[in-house]
Amino acid sequence: ALLASGALVVLDEAYIEFSHQDSLVRLAAEGASLIVLRTFSKWGGLAGLRVGYGVMSRAITATFLQVKQPYGVSVPAEVAALASLEDAELLDERACVIAGERDRMAGLLRDTGWIEPAPSEANFVLCRLLRGDGAAVREALRRRGVFVRYFDGERLRRHIRISAGTPQDTDRLLEALRAVERELDAEAGAGQPLGMLAGKQAAKSEGV
């Protein structure tokens, strides 16, 4: 519907390699009023280099070249991107493995009964917590050597974002979450928020 409107549509496909959805690159190349943006940050593991590209028709390209800044990609980023393309098949296989592990992780998180993973087509899963606060759960996981993302926004305070990794990473995550759940149970019984009881126990063991 958007393409039929005649408006120029810009589509971000940063995570398309991890998705079950089909890319729209073909439509852009065939002349649709569409720009598809891709990046090497996720699939190629080059997040720090800020290198990507856009796929568009020749007509849109001609207009774009008139206004774009010169030297938009550094030499190190260009070299790294070209090296990634030489191993594109391996990187595609790795993305498929990560996507499969993401789906397995989401199922295991759902089975906990207190974590609701949102549908994901990326290399991470955004999870709503039915128990505990996002910041407190993140800190409880950090104490156990597991690092997740937390965003301090009004609508996301009961959420954490978990990146997909290896099966061993997932197993370690679930083990840590089981420990956090036990902490939640203990602190609910004590009438204290997550983290308070653990902090007191740690202080007691250290003689504070």
Task: Write phi, then psi, for 190 (nearest 5 degrees).
Answer: -85, -5
Pull the structure tokens for residue 80: 């790294």
The CATH number of the domain where 31 resides is what? 3.40.640.10
Residue that finishes a domain, picked among 86, 107, 127? 86
Answer yes or no: are the C-beta atoms of 114 and 39 closer than 8 Å: no
Based on the fold, state whether residues 100 and 200 are members of the same structural domain: yes
The Cα 167–Cα 55 span in angstroms is 34
Please report which confidence band the pLDDT of residue 116 belongs to, taking 50, 70 and 90 as the band edges: very high
Based on the fold, state whether residues 98 and 70 are members of the same structural domain: no
Residue that finishes a domain, picked among 50, 71, 86? 86
Percent of the chain at pLDDT > 70 equals: 90
Taking only the tens place, the pLDDT of each residue in 57-107 is 999 999 999 998 888 899 999 999 999 999 999 999 999 999 999 999 999
Based on the fold, state whether residues 192 and 94 are members of the same structural domain: yes
The whole-number pLDDT of residue 200 equals 47
**Looking at residues 178-195, what average pLDDT do you find?**
79
Domain count, the chain: 2
Please report which confidence band the pLDDT of residue 197 belongs to, taking 50, 70 and 90 as the band edges: very low
The CATH number of the domain where 127 resides is what? 3.90.1150.10
Domain residues for the domain of 35 are 3-86
Return the C-alpha torsion angle 187, 191, 193, 196, nearest 10: -70
Based on the fold, state whether residues 157 and 171 are members of the same structural domain: yes
